[in-house]
Amino acid sequence: MNDQFLTELENIMAGSGIFMEEPMKKHTTFRVGGPADVLVQPDETALAAVLGLCRQHHVPYSFIGNGSNLLVGDKGIRGVVIEMTEPMGDIEVQGTRITAQAGAMLSKIANTAASNGLGGMEFAAGIPGSVGGAVVMNAGAYGGEMKDIIERVYVLDENGAQLELDRDALDLGYRHSCIPDKKYIVTKVVLELVPRDEAEIRSEMKELNEKRAEKQPLQYPSAGSTFKRPEGYFAGKLIMDAGLRGYQVGGAQVSEKHCGFVINKGDATAADICQLMRDVSDKVQAQFGVVLEPEVKMIGEF
């Protein structure tokens, strides 16, 4: 990454929203991760220019949203990290449709929907992520998934061309879409919701959030559910039945409140978390013959 590249990048970002040697633990809900060489928070116009510059100079780049389903290696991330955040957080309501930029938080969209008497996003109100990341992994909770409410998604392809994809083109399944495989970048999402009484919406959102607080270790940093749900099983129950409740490696621990969560007790490293996940997976497979697949995405150098 040469001086010319950095000068051009600073020009694109107009001197703001650009951070050098940025600790990634400040940008993930796990609160771990080494430094990114450069982290930028572009708006939609700057995004295309940043991508073009990285390709021109052959500088690697990666994307994050709210960092809520992410484990960054202790050695950090080389190249440019593009964080979809507030400059990409616009939300618009037209009839029963909500159009949101990729950096808009699910909780904010859900509240906007409620205020406009639009139901369908209740399940997402307590998910601590951005809508772009939620589309990429088809996030879901309490019986709802993003695929239930997506109408279409706007993405940039590897060449920087914008594509419009309807729901069927996204190949949405359990914690899956075609977006990572095709190396698309989500810029905007159109959601189709249904009219519903605001009081009913907010009552359901309150009920679901109370369930989360009761069952999940929200007082500790984590990345949510650590493993995908194996077909026919529940990851948390398998981990509990394997005698791993409270199992700890360094500062990482299997939550005593919900065994499906790996938590940061305060000083965990990415290495601690990775070792704990390997230990848990190995012990569950040895006892029950079930392979646990991580739901947490890992990026950077470990």
Residues classed as catalytic: 175, 225, 295
Long-range contacts of 194-202 (CB under 8 A, 24+ apart): 194/96, 194/118, 194/119, 194/120, 195/96, 195/117, 195/118, 195/119, 196/117, 196/118, 196/119, 196/120, 197/117, 198/114, 198/115, 198/117, 200/119, 201/113, 201/114, 201/117, 201/118, 201/119, 201/122, 202/114
In angstroms, rounded to a whole number, what is the distance separating the alpha carbons of residues 101 and 128? 16
State both tokens at 79: 């190249």
Kindly write down the DSSP assignment for every residue of 82-102, as one continuous string.
EE--GGG--EEEETTEEEEET
In angstroms, rounded to a whole number, what is the distance separating the alpha carbons of residues 63 and 257? 31
Half-sphere exposure of 215 (CA within 13 A, CB side): 13
The amino acid sitting at 137 is M
What angle, rounded to 10 degrees, do the helices at 3-12 and 44-56 form? 170
Q: What are phi and psi of 176, to 5 degrees?
A: -145, 145
The amino acid sitting at 109 is I
**Tokens 């009920």 found at:** 207
Kindly write down the DSSP assignment for every residue of 107-133, as one continuous string.
HHHHHHHHHTTEES-GGGTT--SBHHH
Angle at alpha carbon of residue 57, lines to 179 and 297, rounded to 5° = 30
